[in-house]
Chains A and B, each alone.
Chain A
Amino acid sequence: MGEEELDDLFAEARAATPFPSAGLVQRIASAAMVEQAARANPTPLRSGTPAHGLIPRLSGWFGGLGVTAGLATATLAGVWLGAVQPAGLSLVTDSVTQVLGVSAYLDKVELIPTFDPFLSEG
């Protein structure tokens, strides 16, 4: 058999390409629709069983454990800032005023003076 005859044989084979069954085409089409629908309606990752305990319930209310932890941290920080005297701040301001030679202390400056001196008759 020569190369020319082999090429003729290839040409015959190309004309007789195996064709897929209708069932295969249908199965592939169905799979396409299933995949498309799955992407449009993603399955929730959380378990359907109800959670017990305080932390899981709080997580459910606030939208997740991370958010709950963030809220708890912010609450504790607020309480701490409100309850504890910020002594560290006065140490810083004292050092600055001494370096600058300022004698007046900020906590002694009356930012909102009363009207009493203006009301007295003289």
Chain B
Amino acid sequence: MALDALSDVSDEALLVLYANGDQTAARALNLRLTPRAFGFAARVLSDRSEAEDVVQEAMLRLWRIAPDWRQGEARISTWLYRVVLNLCTDRIRKKRPAALEDVPEPEDGAPGALAGLIERDRMQALEAALERLPERQRQAVVLRHLEGLGNPEIAEVMDIGVEAVESLIARGKRSLTSLLSPRRAELGYDNEV
């Protein structure tokens, strides 16, 4: 089956096709799920190399569970986020949180390059601020505001209630605001108001 023909096929149906020996289905699932899983892992871990290891392991588990996948019980993306989250949690507990002050100061440059530098600095500052949040708050904020998941799905991924998700996100955003406020002008927000 051609890869293009599978664009409208659901993840669950693709996994069934893969379990039945369809190689194109595996390629389609890989291209569809790996970027999402990697983006999430990279943001949670703040480390591309570790994120690659986590995603490779999570996808391997997906291939192995394919023949036993029970359709209708859970969405594959939710299952994958959950596996990635658990693998990330194991690694995070071995890591030391980086300080916001560790983020490099903005470099001097030509005015034309200033916007790009500011954007890069904003991303670095956000990344560092996320890293300083408590583990569960960071995971909830990343899933909600960077991965775009709804609160019920986040609750399923994190295995907690929806109210707990809302609370984690609210506290996480408050913490982010207070962490980033001292660098507001430096990150170019004063110029845009």
Instruction: Answer whether residue B181 sits at the interface, using C-beta atoms and an 8 A cutoff.
Output: yes
Report the contact-size class of chain A (Cβ under 8 Å from the partner).
Answer: 20 to 34
Instruction: Answer whether residue B163 sits at the interface, using C-beta atoms and an 8 A cutoff.
Output: no
**A22-40 interface with B by 8 A CB criterion:** 24-25, 27-29, 31-33, 35-36, 39-40
Instruction: Answer whether residue A115 sits at the interface, using C-beta atoms and an 8 A cutoff.
Output: no
Instruction: Answer whether residue B138 sits at the interface, using C-beta atoms and an 8 A cutoff.
Output: no
> Please, which residues of chain A bring their CB within 8 A of the CB of B176?
6
Binds B, one of A8-16, A49-57, A79-87: A8-16
Known contacts A2-B177, A33-B26, A36-B21, A20 near B35 by CB under 8 Å: yes
Instruction: Answer whether residue A5 sits at the interface, using C-beta atoms and an 8 A cutoff.
Output: yes
Interface string of A58-96 (1 = CB under 8 A from B): 000000000000000000000000000000000000000
Q: By the criterion CB–CB under 8 Å, are B56 and A1 in contact?
A: no
Known contacts A2-B177, A12-B122, A36-B23, A20 near B38 by CB under 8 Å: yes
> Please, which residues of chain B bring their CB within 8 A of the CB of A48?
none
Report the contact-size class of chain B (Cβ under 8 Å from the partner).
Answer: 35 or more
Task: Give the distance to chain A from B80, nearest Cβ to Cβ, in Å.
Answer: 12
**B47-86 interface with A by 8 A CB criterion:** 48, 51-52, 55-56, 59-60, 63-64, 66-67
Q: In the complex, A82 Cα to B48 Cα: how many Å?
A: 78
Instruction: Answer whether residue A3 sits at the interface, using C-beta atoms and an 8 A cutoff.
Output: yes
Interface string of B144-157 (1 = CB under 8 A from A): 01101000000000
Contact with B43, one of A18, A28, A29, A31 (Cβ below 8 angstroms):
A18
Known contacts A31-B63, A35-B64, A12 near B52 by CB under 8 Å: no
Q: By the criterion CB–CB under 8 Å, are B38 and A19 in contact?
A: yes
Contact with B123, one of A13, A31, A33 (Cβ below 8 angstroms):
A13
List 22 A-B pairs, Cβ < 8 Å.
A1-B177, A6-B173, A7-B145, A9-B126, A12-B123, A13-B123, A16-B123, A17-B39, A17-B146, A18-B43, A19-B39, A24-B52, A24-B55, A25-B30, A31-B60, A32-B18, A32-B26, A33-B26, A35-B60, A35-B63, A36-B18, A40-B21
User: Told that A10-B146, A39-B67 touch, could you supply 17 new A-B pairs with CB distance under 8 A?
Assistant: A1-B180, A1-B189, A5-B189, A6-B173, A12-B122, A13-B145, A13-B146, A17-B35, A18-B38, A18-B42, A19-B38, A25-B34, A29-B26, A32-B27, A33-B26, A35-B64, A36-B18
Instruction: List residues of chain B with CB under 8 Å of any chain A CB.
Output: 18-19, 21, 23, 26-27, 29-31, 34-35, 38-39, 42-43, 48, 51-52, 55-56, 59-60, 63-64, 66-67, 119, 122-123, 126, 145-146, 148, 173, 176-177, 180-181, 184, 189
